[in-house]
Structures are given as C-alpha cells and as structure tokens.
C-alpha cells in the first residue's frame, strides 16, 4: 500500500484502497458541484483556440472513470500483461468526440454512472490485488495502486483543475 504523511505526528500511515475510493468519490462530487451551477454558454466555449471547453473535459472524465477501474481489474486477472493506452490511441478521446455537445444533465448522469461503476470495480478487488503489476506501454511495470493513483485519482483532479483554469480564462476574456 502507498503511504501518506500524517499532519499531526509526522509519521506515515498506509493509504488503503478505501482511502483511494473515498478520494475519487470526493473529487468527482466536488467537480460536479462546481460545474452544475455554471451557465450553459460557458460549458461549450473554448478558453483559447484548440483548448477543450468544459464539456469536452467532462466527457473525457465520464470515460476515464470506468476505463481505468476496469484496467485495474484486468491487471489483477492477468498479472504482468499489457494494459492501458497511450495518447496516440484514438479510443482515448472517442468519448470527447461523442459527448462534448451533451447537455450538462446528460454528462453529469454519465459521470455519476461512471463513478458508480468505477467504485464497484475497485471495491471488488481484494486488498492484496492492489500490489499486482501489469505493463503499461510507456511507463512500464505499474501496480494497480499506481495505476489508480496516476490514471484515475490524479487524472480526475488534474481535469478538475483544468476546468477551473478554463473558467478563469473565460472570465478574464469577458472583461
């Protein structure tokens, strides 16, 4: 298991699978709470030419939630086997192409369903399965724990920050 620093004592506590699941749930819930109060016109506007609007980022988040949770399941069933994808994989942004014009209600429902599916998949993994490793095409050997941290937890949080930056850029361009 990974470790986290304790603010009170300075020692490190193990980060459990349930800690990761709760972090994921909290991140997604905060993201949805932030975007569900936005006016529709903001959701579809590019902050700068070629940058994803908020809705494109949300479409991507809706896809990565179940994708990476199921990749983790596959690693536990096939230790050492290849998993994942790279930026060159066209399926990686297929959800963006398919859902970037969805309504906020529809994409929020997709994200909630993806979160539920992801949480269910992660909770189905035995505690010792989180140490099982597979082979990513670029990063090499990664444990389930590392996959979930990098490609799910950090990825969702990075996209939440991206949405925040998009909103700030759009706000600044209105002035």
DSSP output for 105-121: HHHHHHHHHHHHHHHHH
Domains of the chain: 19-174 (1.20.120.450)
Question: What is the distance, to the nearest Å, from the Cα of residue 138 to the centroid of all Cα atoms in its chain?
Answer: 19
The reported pTM is: 0.88
Q: Is the pLDDT of residue 169 over 90?
A: no
- Alpha-carbon span 11 to 86, nearest angstrom: 36
25-56: pLDDT as tens digits: 999 999 999 999 888 888 999 888 888 999 99
128-146: pLDDT as tens digits: 999 999 999 999 999 999 9
**Joined tokens for residue 134:** 């597979």
Look at residues 130, 154, 125 and name the one whose alpha carbon lies nearest to residue 142.
130
**Predicted confidence band at 174 (pLDDT cuts at 50, 70, 90)?**
low
- Alpha-carbon span 53 to 106, nearest angstrom: 16
- Alpha-carbon span 15 to 30, nearest angstrom: 21
pLDDT of residue 50: 86
Over range 158-173, report the average pLDDT. Answer: 84
- Alpha-carbon span 59 to 98, nearest angstrom: 8
pLDDT of residue 8: 44
Phi-psi region of 170 (alpha: psi -120 to 50; beta: other; left: phi over 0): alpha
- Alpha-carbon span 14 to 45, nearest angstrom: 42
**Joined tokens for residue 127:** 């505690």
pLDDT of residue 2: 60
Q: Is the pLDDT of residue 5 over 60?
A: no
The answer to whether the CB of 39 falls within 8 A of the CB of 167 is no
Q: Is the pLDDT of residue 13 over 80?
A: no
At 133 the three-state DSSP class reads strand
55-97: pLDDT as tens digits: 999 999 999 999 999 999 999 999 999 999 988 888 778 888 9
- Alpha-carbon span 134 to 137, nearest angstrom: 10
Q: Which of 16-25, 31-40, 111-120 has the lowest mean pLDDT?
A: 31-40
pLDDT of residue 58: 96
**Predicted confidence band at 14 (pLDDT cuts at 50, 70, 90)?**
confident
**Predicted confidence band at 12 (pLDDT cuts at 50, 70, 90)?**
low
């Amino acid at each position: 298991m990974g470790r986290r620093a304790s603010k009170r004592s300075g020692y490190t506590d193990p980060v459990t699978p349930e800690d990761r699941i709760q972090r994921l749930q909290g991140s997604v819930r905060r993201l949805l709470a932030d975007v569900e109060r936005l006016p529709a016109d903001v959701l579809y506007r590019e902050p700068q030419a070629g940058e994803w609007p908020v809705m494109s980022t949300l479409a991507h988040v809706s896809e990565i939630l179940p994708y990476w949770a199921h990749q983790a399941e596959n690693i536990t069933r096939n230790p050492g086997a290849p998993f994942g994808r790279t930026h060159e994989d066209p399926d990686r942004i297929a959800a963006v192409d398919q859902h970037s014009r969805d309504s906020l209600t529809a994409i929020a429902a997709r994200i909630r369903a993806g979160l539920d599916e992801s949480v269910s998949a992660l909770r189905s993994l035995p505690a010792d399965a989180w140490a099982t490793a597979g082979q990513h095409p670029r990063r090499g050997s990664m444990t389930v724990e590392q996959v979930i941290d990098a490609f799910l937890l950090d990825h969702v949080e990075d996209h939440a920050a991206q949405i925040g930056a998009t909103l700030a850029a759009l706000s600044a361009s209105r002035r």
